[in-house]
Structure 1
Amino acid sequence: MYSYEDRMRAVQLYIKLGKRANAAIRQLGYPTKNALKHWHRELARGNDLSAGYVRTKHRYSDEQKRTAVEHYLDHGRCLAWTTKALGYPSRQKLSAWIDEYEPGGRRRVHTGNSSGTIRSEQQKRTAVIDLCSRRASARSVAQKVGVSRQTLYDWKNQKLGREVPASMTRNRELPPTASRDELERELEALRSDVKRLQLEHDLLTKANELIKKDLGIDLRLLGNREKTALVDALRNTYALPELLTRLEFARSSYFYHRSLLSLEDRYADLRQTIVVLFETNRNCYGYRRIHAALARGGEQVSEKVVRRLMKQEQLVVTTARRRRYTSYQGELDPAPENFVNRDFHAAKPNEKWLTDITEFQLPAGKVYLSPMIDCFDGLVVSWSVSTRPDAELVNTMLDAAIETITGSRDRPVVHSDRGAHYRWPGWLSRMQNAQLARSMSRKGCSPDNSACEGFFGRLKNEMYYNRTWINTTANDFMQQLDSYIQWYNQHRIKLSLGGISPAEYRRNLGIAA
């Protein structure tokens, strides 16, 4: 059980690290993921944690204890019968009460040693050899020694282990006239085999635990650093020469790599910089964008190093998938031609625009987003957010997009899917008045509008998926969505633009964003 201070410390660190449970648990060493998230929810609900856990403890009176002891003595001295008849206590408690009130009153169980004599180690060793080399039954060997059959097998397990068979004659045929020395040598060979198999098992288990290798891996094919980690993990259990011999690892190589692992991390500052970049950019930058951001800051480092450090720090971009919203309601009127034809490249701004509607499912309800995206650089020209996928959602967005057109010759082609929103009178009249050309995808063919679908995928992976929205209202979510799109336009790096944002790209070209 954890104290109030331990639980509060864990929740505060969990919040400080951006609700990354693995990072908090790795730093503290406790608790489990579910426990940490439960404490966080408890703190969010009541602004405090409960004082602690209270364990109920059964207390029995002296009268109850004496009644139990008397029942035990009067009914055959059976612990199980007394606890079943009275309904209390456990067998361990009842045994303690009997020793307290009636010393010597407990019935002793026969252990199998008829004489009651304590056997020496040499006698046990001799009995085990007779058991393993027997030609008759194990019971006859036990009677000869003067112990029970189970006791004899217990001695065998203590001396040789449970893996060794109780009869060596089944697997290894010895001559009938084998001397005791030959039996001793056979026993030592079996013990050596057991130790070798145990070492093999421990090495494979540690390889699976530390370096995530399959249990069937050939240990000789491991790298020198991996072998060094295995040897360090098992040095307290096995001798160093045994481990090095089994791994076929030179002693000098082991100490060399051990000294390298003990050196200070040369990438300590870079690790911290990468973590800050990842967290300040909504936990949605992969290693390529992190590498581009480092290059912008003057940090010259390989992409492979960035990828390895992000993997070690468990900085992973979430990529969940859910059912997509559709607004298709059948063929209302003849659809226009697909002028874009999957060519989403534009030589100048306001040449090709893409639009669509996507849905966000929240505990507080559903939220819908309708953006207008410029194919020139991926800038979100305008967008509208609502809790209803009605005509006002797309018409408001189109009005705001039309207001951004400054040049008299700018008449972009507006490409969409075959949703009903883009075939209603309000949309058609606005397109006609602004002299904008319509273009539509084929029915049920998302690749025809893949650039817009790609924007939705990035948005949901970076801002929506794998986050809890339990205590978020629809209005709060719409504000966060608006904030994300502004960040997407002004600050988010696009590798296709040379590692800068769409707004910065336009400013570099002298175009107002």
Structure 2
Amino acid sequence: MGTRVSYPVEVKMKAIEMRLAKVPVKEVMEELNIRNYTQLKTWMRWYRNGEIHRLHQPVGKQYTFGKGPEYESETAKLQAENRYLKQQIEVLKKYEGIGKEVAPKLVIQLVEELKGVMAVGEICRHLGVGCSSYYRWRKNAEQITQKEVRDQQIGDLCKQHKFRYGYRKIAALFTGVCMKTVQRVMQKYGWQCRVKVKKRKRTGQPAFVAANLLARDFSASKPLEKLVTDITYLPYGQSMMYLSSILDVYNGEIVTQTIGFKQDTDFVLDTLNQLPELPEGCILHSDQGSVYTSYAYQKAVKEKGIIMSMSRKGTPADNSPIETFHSTLKTETFYLDGIYRTTNARVIQIVEEFITYYNNIRIQTKLNNQSPVQYRQLVAK
């Protein structure tokens, strides 16, 4: 029997956020050094069920036998159940780009899953579907449509030729249907040609990887001597958002931050360009993300006279100050207030208000019970 591994809450939450952002499972496991895929599935299940408290529990059999704490009160339990139902109803929206023919099946499936706890009419109202449409779809569910017959015939052709043909050859054999339709059907069911799989260069290949100069020495003798930076996911709004921030190791102050909808090089460059004048020999530490190893970012870093440092792959602890801040931000705002879905504007407001509070008001024991800004101003005197 293998040794059980206990992962920090920060790692669990980052894994969940990456999966919510559609980051591939393999990439998540490699970046966060997670051994087992089933571990990740368990965390995702707890998150979707509103059981965030279980992420804080240590490894133990209470997970299996239900001996751990469940809910602090009946109100908390009802809130978790309500949140779960809302998340289930949101499932249908994820399929908007697949095609209208999929909607009836999804509605039927969703109603069947939820009708034990909600009235059919109420579920249909949330989904924006008439009850009569739902009952008609359910009645005709067993009937095979022309599109399903067409898809099956395309599949039979692919199997007949042992998946040696691409969509162009299949379209040539299957008359009466355009090439794009055949391509879409083959992609939908995974019937593409398997003879010569296209080799694609993996995205995020590092252009430049710096040595780990910080080496977990999170002490500094003066402001802006050592900086750490990272990106965290903000999956709480109408669309996925990201927070890029730079923290001063000297007093834990957030020096600059950017909130955006796209995690690209321009996004982190915006955060970098907000930095004030830096002392000579300033070290900026990050992970090995593709945005930080890109040529554009490295060029901007050198132009500012900054010395770059990078964590080892799959070792979030090498950048723990900024990881801890991002965890604190979410724990003391979104998780504390039970906010799992709101508007983008509200997410931005919450983050910006917390950073102002964190820098100017929130005291830290290691800073002699002063806020980062108070500590920096006191030392400057």
Give the number of the structure with larger relative contact order, counting CA–CA contacts within 8 Å between residues 6 or more apart. 2
TM-score normalised to structure 1 length: 0.35
The TM-score with structure 2 as length reference comes to: 0.46
Higher-Rg structure is: 1
